[in-house]
Amino acid sequence: NDSPVWTVHDTGSCMIPNSTQEMSWIIGDHGFEMSLSRQVPQLIEEHLSPWMSSWLDHQGQTVSSIGNWAVHPGGPRILDAVETSLGLPPGACTESRTVLRERGNMSSPTVLFVLDRLRSQPVASPTVMLGFGPGLTAEVALLSGPHRTNEGEKSIGENADS
């Protein structure tokens, strides 16, 4: 397999306070039904930065040391809230915005399309992959790469038969 792969160094989760009713998934007779409050961007803007800064500190990183941001493009207001909360430089979420514009919000897998766009170009490491889910929760992974694996070496993103 000659495709570049990402290496996951750590992951983290944060439950945003007083937000359990702001985003939910209900399994109904016809599949999943999602409920999303208009308060979600404001909650992200208010609560993401302190947690993310602390989590990154435990990884020996800071917001400014992150080379790339692969943010789940749940919508333009979500991306704006992330950029504002973290004080990201202009263009930090360009790939997320491009995926949102070209493909829309495809639910959970959408962030993988952002990683794929980053994988196809020269990128600075490390990369933070960030998404939001029911509860309201923030989910994060610290990645390095993408890089090519050595002959016989396996890394996340490859299956054992390749």
Predicted confidence (pLDDT) per residue in 39-52, tens digit = 899 999 999 999 99
Q: What are phi and psi of 5, to 5 degrees?
A: -125, 160
Q: What is the mean pLDDT of residues 21-30?
A: 79
pLDDT for 154 equals 46
CA distance 157 to 4: 9
Provide the strand spans (E) within 3-162. Answer: 5-15, 23-28, 31-36, 68-71, 127-133, 137-147
Q: How many residues does the chain have?
A: 162
Q: What is the pLDDT of residues 140-154, one digit of tens each?
A: 999 998 877 654 444
pLDDT for 15 equals 95
Examine the pLDDT at 13 and tell me if it is beyond 80.
yes
* pTM of the predicted model as reported, rounded to 2 decimal places: 0.84
CA distance 162 to 157: 10
Examine the pLDDT at 155 and tell me if it is beyond 70.
no
Average pLDDT, rounded, for the chain: 87
Whether residue 147 contacts residue 4, with contact meaning beta carbons closer than 8 Å, is answered with yes
Query: Does residue 89 have a cis bond before it (omega within 30 degrees)?
Result: no
pLDDT for 18 equals 87
Examine the pLDDT at 2 and tell me if it is beyond 70.
no
pLDDT for 153 equals 45
CA distance 48 to 67: 18
Q: Which strands, in side-by-side order, build the sheet including 5-15? A: 5-15, 137-147, 127-133, 68-71
Whether residue 96 contacts residue 114, with contact meaning beta carbons closer than 8 Å, is answered with yes
Q: What is the pLDDT of residues 89-125, one digit of tens each?
A: 999 999 999 999 999 888 888 999 999 999 888 777 8
Per-residue CA distances from 89 to 5, 41, 118, 130 (Å): 26, 18, 17, 16
pLDDT for 64 equals 95
pLDDT for 23 equals 77
pLDDT for 150 equals 58
